[in-house]
Amino acid sequence: MTTLVFRPKKIRRVAWACAIGLVAVFTVVGLLLGNTPTGVIFRTSDQVAMIILGFLLAGGVLLLTRPRVTADASGVDVRNVVTSHHFDWKDVLSVSFPDGAAWARLELPEDEYISVMAVQAVDREYAVSSVRALRELHKAAQNQR
């Protein structure tokens, strides 16, 4: 049984670069806070808080690296930034990528859909091949019924 796993490519590189930049900038600012000629007194706790804030912001940015879709013959698991869902292929009407959309989606009954943030338009050919592979799995599952 073949299991396919797709994760976004470009946003992962950008998010890691931003996270590293945030940590670096907030660390430098935190360390330089003690030497200000403004008359404001910054304590060590203020410096540590600034560095911790950099790490917290970096963690928030790294949430963008979380999306993943895992699919096999039985169904598909979609993990977006905050939510995760599992669908059997029998519950999925189609895999689509509407014109102008940022990411693919699974069309569900009753005009509902779930965004698949792991397959993003900015990834171009990777996104196209990912949607095609998901459609093939969906089609194979539909033919087995």
Q: pLDDT tier at 1 (50, 70, 90 boundaries)? A: low
Confidence (pLDDT) at 67? 96
CB 95 within 8 A of CB 131: yes
Query: What is the three-class DSSP state of 69?
Result: strand
- Cβ atoms within 10 Å of 95's Cβ, excluding its own: 25
Q: Of 65, 66, 69, nearest to 138 (Cα)?
A: 69
pTM: 0.81
Tens-place pLDDT, residues 72-109: 999 999 999 999 999 999 999 999 999 999 999 999 99
How far is it, in rounded angstroms, from Cα 143 to Cα 38? Answer: 73
Calpha distance 102→123 (Å, rounded)? 10
The structure tokens listed for 126 are 């990777």
Sign of CA dihedral 14, 20, 22, 25: negative
pLDDT tens figures, 23-77: 999 999 988 887 667 777 788 898 999 999 999 999 999 999 999 999 999 999 9
Give the pLDDT of residue 72: 93
Q: Residues in the chain, how many?
A: 145
Are 90 and 141 in contact, with CB atoms under 8 Å apart? yes
More confident residue, 1 or 116: 116
pLDDT the model gives residue 141? 87
